[in-house]
């Protein structure tokens, strides 16, 4: 089950730094780059099964300590970047916890097979009629 935004904010820490990109002199003065750090092990709102699933699906994004880092430096505002990192985290957790249904293979209907074969023979007849007659 996915926790609400307030529970997530209690369990994450933020780190800010200066970012590059647009903003002119503002970039040199203001720490607008935000890095969200989420500790998956200490997240009390996930049970052990969900934590194992998250570790499996996010193993490429976790560092050696098991922390998930999400960075945003798109906006000039630190607050907007902080909101974007939280939204990215919620979206990432939602996608990672989603269990896909197992696909059941289905048979191709007979009508579809017959239609394909009919179209094939119509096209073959059309091309046959375009040929020069064989005078042997």
Measured CA to CA, the distance from residue 27 to residue 76 in angstroms comes to 8
Phi, psi angle pair for 112, to nearest 5°: -70, -40
Which run of H or E residues covers position 57? helix 48-57
pTM of this prediction? 0.69
pLDDT tens, position by position, for the chain (136 residues)? 677 788 888 888 898 888 776 666 766 777 888 999 998 888 888 888 888 888 999 999 889 888 999 999 888 888 999 999 999 999 999 998 888 889 999 999 999 999 999 999 999 999 999 998 887 6
Question: Which domains are assigned to the chain?
Answer: 5-97 (3.30.160.20)
Please spell the DSSP secondary structure of 91-118, one letter per residue: HHHHHHHPPPPPPPP-PPPHHHHHHHHH
């Amino acid at each position: 089950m996915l926790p609400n935004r307030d529970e997530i904010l209690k369990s994450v820490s933020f780190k800010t730094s200066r970012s590059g990109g647009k903003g002119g002199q503002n970039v040199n003065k203001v720490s607008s780059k935000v890095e969200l750090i989420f500790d998956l092990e200490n997240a009390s709102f996930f049970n052990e099964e969900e934590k194992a699933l998250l570790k499996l699906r996010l193993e490429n994004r976790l560092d050696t300590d098991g922390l998930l880092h999400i960075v945003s430096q798109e906006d000039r505002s630190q607050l907007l970047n902080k909101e974007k990192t939280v939204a990215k985290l919620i979206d990432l957790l939602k996608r990672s916890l989603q269990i896909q249904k197992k696909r059941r293979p289905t048979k191709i209907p007979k009508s579809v097979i017959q239609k394909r074969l009919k179209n094939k023979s119509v096209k073959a007849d059309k091309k046959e009629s375009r040929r020069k007659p064989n005078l042997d």
